[in-house]
Amino acid sequence: MALLHQMQAQYPFGHGELNEMSNARLSRKVQTGSIKMSNGVELPLFGLGTWLADSPEELELALKVALDAGYRYFDTAVQYNNEHIIGKVLEKYFQSGSLKRSDVFITSKLPFYGHRPEDAERHIERSLKRLRVDYIDLYLLHGPYPCKVDGKGDLLQDEDGKPIPDLIPHIDTWRAIGVSNFNQEQIHDLYNQAEIPPHNLQSKDEAELKGALEAAIDAGYRYIDTATLYQNEHIIGEFLEEKFNSGKLKRSDIFITSKLSLLDHSPEKTDKNIQESLKKLRIDYIDLYLIHGPWPFKNFAFGPGQQSEVDLVPHIDTWRVLEKYYKLGKLKSIGLSNFNQQQIQAVYDQAEIKPQNLQSKDEAELKGALEAAIDAGYRYIDTATLYQNEHIIGEFLEEKFNSGKLKRSDIFITSKLSILDHSPEKADKNIQESLKKLRTDYIDLYLIHGPCPFKNFAFGPGQQSEVDLVPHIDTWRVLEKYYKLGKLKSIGLSNFNQQQIQAVYDQAEIKPQNLQVDFFS
């Protein structure tokens, strides 16, 4: 069901609903904008990715529903092994007159074992044949790591079973117009040598992110969460600089969190990473800076047969660099993300400046992690109905309140409405249950966890999820009710896109006060 999960943001449904929805021809169509690439071609901002779609039956059905729902952008690749299925479905639509070729935007990609010029030409011709089209709208080099193949096209491997790199200059492969998963330096080298420069980098959607930021800021959002890993700090920085320069925002109006890459835990790399984050974000300081996780790597491999190499850097060595920039005023608060109890305690015991925030979802060790976090000075706790741990947090906090070690006003709690509880009746019950489980009279920030409501959500083989077509504003009215009652001090949205935010904002009596989203694609 991997492909179907990708469609949930706009049309969440189970396998059974797909037939019913497709046969009924959805009356609700996807509304999507586009962005103009450097060659003038309009690239749709919303489409269907087909990675991990390994079932022909499922993919055909998903494509049919997507097309009937108004999807016009389809992303595939040689390595996805599904171009022939997409071609078969599209051909039926073209022949029936339901669609013209010009109505559909198709992206495909050259595999890492096809970088030699003669191989690249062969793969492009085969993709055209499998897709049953005369042209492909956007064709990308799928990655910057070419590997050698034998005369039959099979991967050559060394004695350890690893693919053998093929040292082909990227410019020699450059026959198509786009790159995917290339880093900045690789793009720059290619761009400088290309007769026709890349028209598209497939990775981080700059237009969509800037649009989402615009809508969020206009709606009153003032907290932005990013990370080196998300590769979008530069976009956020450009956007915020424009706002600051225009006088529409002051730096002090915005709270920015960023995080250290798992590839940069060595002190030298950590130092460089922090400086680069400040430079990309175009700011003098970061409000909260976290070590993104406790697993440092020297390199992180994605290609088949490749191996990641662990970097055995003590956490405290990395922490010392954060302390340095904290003292310089460049990092206003510093903390840990996704560390377990023992890892938190180890840093805490050796730290000169104790961690000031813990961002964690480790349910198994939650009580221990909470204990270490509170002792370390953490005062912000993020949970959700979905996490199924509100009762643990509630028990823990009640003990602290009763002991006099904490007051309720010392703690800021965020929780979120389940995707199963968007109907007004269920939303009402969910909020009451969250308050009861958390053993609190109010929740500081309460969010609708996502824009895709379900009546039931199935994980088991052959089981079906059932979508619940509840208007977002109907759910929002319940949050407004509890806001007025003082039970929810602030209310907001999580993982909503620009259009969805705007739709709620336009109809809301009490405007969303926070958008929680990791801006990466």
Helix orientation angle between 15-24 and 56-69, rounded to the nearest 10 degrees: 40
11 is catalytic: no
Distance between terminal CA atoms of the chain? 19
* CB atoms near residue 351 (< 10 Å): 17
Amino acid at 300: F
What's the Cα-to-Cα distance from 18 to each of 8, 57, 60, 230, 422, rounded to whole Å?
A: 12, 12, 11, 32, 21
| b/e map 377-414, b = 16+ CB within 10 Å | ebebbbbbbebebbebbbebbeebbeeeeeeeeebebb
DSSP 8-state secondary structure symbol assigned to residue 377: T
Cβ neighbours, 10 Å, residue 202 = 20
Q: Which residues sit opposite 289 in a β-bridge? A: 258, 334
**Phi, psi angles (nearest 5°) of residue 225:** -110, 125
> Which amino acid is present at 462?
G
DSSP label at 31? P
Say how far apart CA 281 and CA 228 lie, in whole Å: 11
Q: What are phi and psi of 73, to 5 degrees?
A: -120, 125
Residues contacting residue 9 through CB under 8 Å, at least 6 positions apart: 450, 451, 452, 495, 497
Which of 11, 80, 113, 230 is labelled catalytic?
230
**Helix, strand or coil for residue 403?**
helix
The CA-atom distances, in angstroms, between 449 and each of 28, 85, 294, 387, 418 are: 23, 34, 26, 11, 6
Which H or E element spans position 6? helix 2-6
Helices (H) and strands (E) counted in the chain, each on its own, are: 17, 22
Q: Annotated catalytic sites, by residue?
A: 230
